[in-house]
């Protein structure tokens, strides 16, 4: 009988946000696949979890996915964790989940923290309809194309960005989208959690005087300390394509 893949959400800042079910699952599975084993070791030690770990990240996601599937086909259970938040959201875990479905291996998700939802609920922006963009492309042409597509979006948009790229991204948003309202969230669930409702122009002025630090609960170690930007979609009366319709 095949084993099973458990997607285990981990805290995005405050360690007390982990669920009892996740802790017990991490203790009971045969192996934990972690984005950064050194970072995750701190979490495991805090909860006295002794289960062996193996690395699973962007640069080995295909090769290691086949290896983990082989383990599960032999009857072993695997837990997947990311550095912070829910696996497979803007995360290489999506590849492992897809491969598991193709191989007929059962997958279950243990709910918990997700920076995108935490930030959205704190933003004060519309939560009835929203879309998640994650990290914008680094390639200039591709990024421009994505921003132009987002300019036509009518829902609240969630974007992640690292502190050292934040100003550049704000400039790009303003250049393509105009001076819209947004909420910048950082250090979510932590002592210095900050939620800043502002405009794009106001944010750029603020960061001329204040260096971006820390960030919203990131979903990938590569972007540790990333800011979650929740930008309000253009109001109905602001959208020229809807005027007079």
Q: What is the location of CATH 3.30.950.10 in the chain?
A: 115-240
Host H or E run for residue 229: strand 227-231
What is the three-class DSSP state of 55? Answer: strand
115-240 belongs to which homologous superfamily?
Tetrapyrrole methylase, C-terminal domain (3.30.950.10)
Please provide the DSSP assignment of 117-152 as one string. Answer: HHHHHHH-S--SSEEEEEEPPSSHHHHHHHHHHHTT
- CA separation for the pair 242, 234 (Å, rounded): 11
Torsion sign (Cα): 161, 166, 168, 173? positive
- Which class is 4-110 in CATH? alpha beta
Instruction: Kindly state the DSSP code that residue 237 receives in the 8-state scheme.
Output: G
Residue 111 backbone zone (phi > 0: left; psi -120 to 50: alpha; other: beta): beta
Q: What is the location of CATH 3.40.1010.10 in the chain?
A: 4-110
From first to last of the 245 residues of the chain, give the pLDDT tens digit: 899 999 999 999 999 999 999 999 999 999 999 999 999 999 999 999 999 999 999 999 999 999 999 999 999 999 999 999 999 998 999 999 999 999 999 999 999 999 999 999 999 999 999 999 999 999 999 999 999 999 999 999 999 998 989 999 999 999 999 999 999 999 999 999 999 999 999 999 999 999 887 653 222 222 344 566 766 655 543 444 433 33
């Amino acid at each position: 009988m095949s084993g099973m893949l458990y997607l285990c959400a981990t805290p995005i800042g405050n360690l007390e946000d982990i669920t009892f079910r996740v802790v017990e699952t991490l203790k009971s599975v045969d192996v934990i696949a972690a984005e950064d084993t050194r970072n995750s070791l701190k979490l495991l030690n805090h909860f006295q979890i002794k289960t062996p770990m193996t690395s699973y990240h962007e640069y080995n996601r295909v090769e290691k996915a086949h290896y983990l599937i082989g383990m599960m086909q032999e009857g072993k259970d695997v837990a997947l964790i990311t550095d912070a938040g829910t696996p497979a959201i803007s995360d290489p875990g999506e590849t492992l989940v897809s491969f598991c479905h193709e191989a007929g291996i059962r997958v279950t998700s243990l709910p918990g923290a997700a920076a995108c939802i935490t930030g959205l609920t704190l933003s004060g922006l519309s939560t009835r309809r929203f879309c998640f963009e994650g990290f914008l492309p680094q390639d200039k042409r591709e990024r421009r194309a994505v921003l132009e597509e987002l300019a036509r979006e009518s829902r609240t948009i969630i974007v992640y960005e690292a502190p050292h790229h934040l100003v550049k991204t704000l400039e790009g948003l303003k250049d393509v989208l105009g001076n819209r309202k947004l909420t910048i969230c950082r250090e979510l669930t932590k002592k210095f959690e900050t939620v800043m409702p502002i405009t794009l122009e106001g944010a750029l002025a603020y960061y001329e005087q204040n260096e971006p630090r820390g960030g919203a609960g990131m979903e990938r170690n590569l972007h540790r300390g990333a800011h979650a930007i929740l930008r309000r979609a253009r109001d109905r009366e602001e959208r020229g394509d809807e005027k007079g319709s």
